Structure 1
């Protein structure tokens, strides 16, 4: 099921997201902590990858560095063929707006906007004309077809997360980063959302990188990458909930040093 890190570092030329010897250090001196300790990995175009590991293994740090939301201490990150090294915040913002969508547990919805307005907001800010038919289809597929005029305060937490997911899918960006996207959802809705994400990868060729602690969620991905102490130590292809859970249990017993998640 798993390959050692020495045999499985993925750096193929088709990678939409590429990390090369990425380190992220928090603090300085004797108390410094390596949240990422030299990660090299490529997430292929059209792939759906789950990132997993024990609590504090560096999963969210990896996602934030890969997405250009945090700056590595050393190493290089490329998004859609563009190195992030040396880009100022304006250039980073423009690159993310064109190429990247995000799904986080915090939803990040605008309270004064309706469901539909929130879904098309990134396109509106980018000066793009939304594909109205596709927007309607995405909203329908996340189960909010009857709530397009509702505002976030009129929705449950699970419904707000579905808005966030619809917003990520509607723009058909090259890359989607998702941090625990199903954490606030009931089981049925979570499985529907995971199916949507998988379809986006397989049908539309979107690259999806998802941090999750849930073996069932990870089983919807094409590949699972496991982190321990800020390093990729193994991966699994064609994962099942059982094999993912077994690997997590094994890794949890081999952790050495706590690191920020």
Structure 2
């Protein structure tokens, strides 16, 4: 099985001297093709930093990141942008939608920019599955925050990219929509072979993943390969308590 995302001894230090903070303190971790991994940990444990370094949005202080089989070391911004555009989709807490475009136009925008022909049937299906089938002609200003997040998720799923990075993708959604979206992410990995890496603080969201990686103070503290909401919550509570002592 290939490993489209590989971090090897990745460190990320913010600041210098006495004020330096190790956001990542030597993380080695791989994310295999067709797997759905949740990244969890107490606040400030390095979850978003790991996501940003893995996605080539942030440059590690030391160590190596490989994305879609290519080392990111030494790539200039143009090459990085092209690699991300071809291989990677993102779902962030900020939706990054274009206000002048409709739901459908926003969903196909990355493909349009990359010069790809959208798969119209799949785009329609993804928009329907995130619950926006009746809203394809609406603009972001006509949607609620939760609906805008669903557009961002549909956009990430519509392009059939190899890798999707998601940072708290269900944070702004009601429970039933969140579960629908998590099911969609899980199906994407299992049926289409996508590699999905999701940062979340929600044990229920994490239970949809195949594996949960727990970070504490910039290091991988433990992993779970058969997560349930209960086991995830218990492990988080344990890590938080050991960290505070």
TM-score by length of 1: 0.93
Out of 74, 83, 106, the residue aligned to residue 95 of structure 1 is: 83
- Show the counterpart of 2:148: 160
What is the distance in 2 between the residues matched to 1:15 and 1:256? Answer: 34
- Show the counterpart of 2:109: 121
- Show the counterpart of 1:212: 200
Q: What's the CA shift for 1:256?
A: 6.2
- Show the counterpart of 1:3: none
Out of 5, 15, 26, the residue aligned to residue 27 of structure 1 is: 15
Q: What's the CA shift for 1:255?
A: 2.0
The answer (yes or no) to whether the contact 1:105–1:180 under 8 Å persists in 2 is yes
Q: What's the CA shift for 1:198?
A: 0.2
- The residue correspondences of 1:170-181 to structure 2 (distance < 5 A) are 170-181=158-169
Q: Does 1:225 align with 2:213?
A: yes
Equivalent position SS for 1:210: strand
Q: What's the CA shift for 1:253?
A: 1.2
Q: Deviations over 1:67-108 (max 9, x none)?
A: 000000000000010000000110000000000000011111
What is the distance in 2 between the residues matched to 1:111 and 1:72? Answer: 33
Give runs of ≥4 in structure 1 deviating > 3 Å.
Answer: none
- The residue correspondences of 1:1-261 to structure 2 (distance < 5 A) are 14-255=2-243
Q: Deviations over 1:42-82 (max 9, x none)?
A: 00001000000001000000000000000000000000100
The answer (yes or no) to whether the contact 1:17–1:79 under 8 Å persists in 2 is yes
Equivalent residue pairs, number = 245
The answer (yes or no) to whether the contact 1:229–1:256 under 8 Å persists in 2 is no
What is the distance in 2 between the residues matched to 1:211 and 1:255? Answer: 20
Unpaired runs of 5+ residues, structure 1, are 1-12
Q: What's the CA shift for 1:19?
A: 0.1
Unpaired runs of 5+ residues, structure 2, are none
What is the distance in 2 between the residues matched to 1:207 and 1:160? Answer: 23
Q: What's the CA shift for 1:238?
A: 1.3
